[in-house]
């Protein structure tokens, strides 16, 4: 993705690099409310996020007015991205969504107090946020420090994070997820092989840094009798998300993970009722949808799909037909939204124009349609103005610009993101230390 004009400020100074090198997660994370408050206060002191006094707020507001005037932006004429939208029972104040982003800072798969600051920084009143991918069971995970929501401890750890988002008026959905064969036996109980629709292993994959190579073990093909248990894992995860206080869940059916593996015909080589025809390949994901809807209600359920994506070797011979079939099938369950990804990278680090259109899926689906795929301000505005999407999900740009809706409103410069520290376990570096607009002035 090309860098945004203007500010190039990003984490990674000599001080933060030293902190990264010497950082070690604490053995016992803070548990009580007071401990959490003290912990977050310490993170604030260590990050660039200031605690503004009243006079500083006045100066900040004047700065925003100056930027607004320089860019010829009027608050009375909002851009399409910043118009309000009714998402089921939720009233959104704008259409800029925080996309689910793997951050790998949940030690021992338990969400940590530093996530309170991270998510609250990116919360606006009436804004929709979707969590990072969150495991539905102890066999759902394939990488370190990703959160789960299958234990009581995890549910309790999510609660203060959800409360912080709600305190600022945000709407918060939990993305529930199973990695399938995109996993490593090091993270599975007792060194078991990861599960999938197939026993075909992935070839070694270049990581997001474009350098390191990840090796994958041979997966174990799920038996027909085992599939209902995985469906039940998603159902229980949705119930736990409601207990944690989330407003809803997003089922992760994209990016070559388990549900996507079943849908794509270049992965799924089954000959039972879960393989072969398009209907059969989509059976398992739709069983998950039905179970989750029956558990918590369709008005609290969304799903993410990526029919055109080929990540993790999850390709389909007719992705357009797959996307339309799933969109039409989801209508039977009255899902709140369908969130589709539009790939714009042929290889790691290379952006290209997507030759495919999600518009047929948008027309086929009756609910709210969210799109993602390295959108910027202008193409996001066009997508909404041309009715190609209701909402636009932003990942990397929202990661690096916690005040992204404000920057879009003012057409202000964006911070560049630093991919090298996307997944470091440091609770500040590349996580909560990206500056707000007023901090760069």
Q: Provide, rounded to the nearest whole percent, the portion of the chain with pLDDT above 70.
A: 77
Contact indicator for 208, 281 with CB cutoff of 8 Å: no
Contact indicator for 190, 148 with CB cutoff of 8 Å: no
b/e for 91-103, b at 16 or more Cβ within 10 A?
A: ebbbbbbbbbbbb
DSSP 225: T
Q: What is the pLDDT of residue 441?
A: 54
Name the helix (H) or strand (E) containing 92: strand 90-92
Contact indicator for 44, 51 with CB cutoff of 8 Å: yes
Helices (H) and strands (E) in the chain, counts: 14, 17
Name the helix (H) or strand (E) containing 310: none
> pTM for the complete prediction?
0.84
Tokens of 415: 């911070």
Query: What is the per-residue pLDDT across 357-375, written as a single tens digit (0 to 9) for each?
Result: 899 999 999 999 999 999 9
Beta bridge partners of 394: 98
Query: Average pLDDT in the 52-73 region?
Result: 41
Angle between helices 283-296 and 227-244 (to 10 degrees): 30
Q: What is the pLDDT of residue 73?
A: 46
9 or 75: which leads in pLDDT:
75
Report the alpha-carbon angle 248-254-259, nearest 5.
85
Tokens of 143: 């990488």
Query: What is the per-residue pLDDT across 306-362, written as a single tens digit (0 to 9) for each?
Result: 999 998 999 999 999 999 999 999 999 999 999 999 876 544 445 555 546 899 999
29 or 425: which leads in pLDDT:
425
Q: What is the pLDDT of residue 39?
A: 56
Query: What is the per-residue pLDDT across 153-200, written as a single tens digit (0 to 9) for each?
Result: 999 999 999 999 999 999 999 999 999 999 876 777 777 899 999 999
Contact indicator for 410, 3 with CB cutoff of 8 Å: no
Tokens of 259: 């549900």
355 or 116: which leads in pLDDT:
116
E strands, 178-329, in order:
195-196, 205-206, 213-214, 220-221, 248-253, 301-305
Tokens of 351: 């952006």
Report the alpha-carbon angle 417-403-74, nearest 5.
120
How many Å apart are CA 376 and CA 417, to the nearest integer? 13
Name the helix (H) or strand (E) containing 236: helix 227-244
CB atoms within 10 A of CB 317: 9
Tokens of 202: 């992935």
DSSP 337: E
How many Å apart are CA 232 and CA 293, to the nearest integer? 12
Tokens of 144: 């370190």
Q: What is the pLDDT of residue 290?
A: 98
Q: What is the pLDDT of residue 438?
A: 81
**3 state DSSP class of 180:** coil
Query: Average pLDDT in the 75-95 region?
Result: 91
Name the helix (H) or strand (E) containing 97: strand 96-98
Paired sense of beta strands 337-341 and 248-253, if any: unpaired
Per the prediction, the chain carries an average pLDDT of 84
User: Of the ranges 110-114, 163-167, 191-195, 288-292, which one carries the lowest mean pLDDT score?
Assistant: 191-195
Phi, psi of 386 (to 5 degrees): -90, 5
Query: Average pLDDT in the 261-279 region?
Result: 98
269 or 418: which leads in pLDDT:
269
């Amino acid at each position: 993705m090309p860098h945004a004009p203007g500010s190039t400020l990003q984490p990674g100074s000599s001080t933060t690099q030293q902190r990264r090198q010497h950082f070690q997660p604490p053995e016992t994370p803070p548990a009580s409310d007071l401990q959490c408050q003290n912990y977050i206060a310490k993170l604030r002191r260590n990050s660039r996020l200031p605690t503004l006094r009243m006079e500083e707020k006045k100066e900040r507001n004047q700065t925003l007015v100056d930027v607004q005037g320089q860019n010829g932006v009027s608050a009375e004429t909002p851009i399409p991205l910043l118009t309000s939208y009714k998402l089921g029972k939720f009233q959104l104040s704008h259409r800029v969504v925080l996309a689910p982003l793997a951050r790998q800072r949940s030690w021992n798969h338990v969400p940590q107090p530093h996530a309170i600051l991270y998510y609250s920084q990116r919360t606006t009143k009436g804004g929709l946020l979707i969590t990072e991918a969150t495991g539905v069971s102890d066999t759902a995970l394939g990488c370190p420090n990703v959160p789960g929501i299958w234990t009581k401890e995890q549910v309790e750890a999510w609660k203060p994070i959800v409360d912080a988002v709600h305190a600022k008026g945000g709407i918060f959905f939990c993305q529930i997820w199973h990695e399938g064969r995109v996993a490593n036996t090091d993270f599975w109980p007792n060194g078991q092989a990861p599960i999938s629709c197939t026993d075909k292993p992935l070839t070694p994959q270049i990581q997001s840094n474009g350098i390191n190579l990840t090796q994958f073990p041979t997966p174990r093909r799920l038996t027909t009798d085992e599939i209902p248990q995985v469906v039940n894992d998603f159902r229980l995860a949705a119930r736990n998300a409601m207990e944690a206080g989330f407003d809803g869940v997003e089922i992760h059916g994209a990016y070559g993970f388990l549900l996507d593996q079943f849908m794509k015909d270049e992965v799924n080589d089954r000959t039972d009722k879960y393989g072969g025809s398009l209907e059969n390949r989509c059976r398992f994901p739709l069983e998950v949808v039905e179970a989750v809807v029956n558990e918590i209600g369709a008005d609290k359920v969304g799903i993410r799909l990526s029919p055109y994506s080929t990540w993790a070797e999850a390709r389909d011979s007719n992705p357009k037909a797959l996307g339309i079939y799933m969109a039409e099938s989801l209508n039977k369950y009255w899902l709140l939204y369908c969130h589709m990804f539009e790939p714009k990278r042929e290889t790691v680090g290379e952006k290209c124009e997507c030759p495919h259109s999600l518009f047929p899926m948008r027309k086929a689906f009756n609910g709210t349609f969210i799109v993602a795929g390295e959108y910027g301000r202008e193409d996001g505005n066009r997508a909404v103005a041309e009715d190609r999407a209701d909402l636009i999900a932003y990942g990397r740009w929202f990661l690096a610009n916690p005040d992204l809706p404000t920057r879009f409103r003012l057409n202000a410069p964006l911070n560049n993101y630093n991919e090298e520290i996307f997944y470091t376990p440091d609770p500040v570096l590349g996580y909560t230390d990206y500056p707000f607009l007023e901090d760069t002035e």
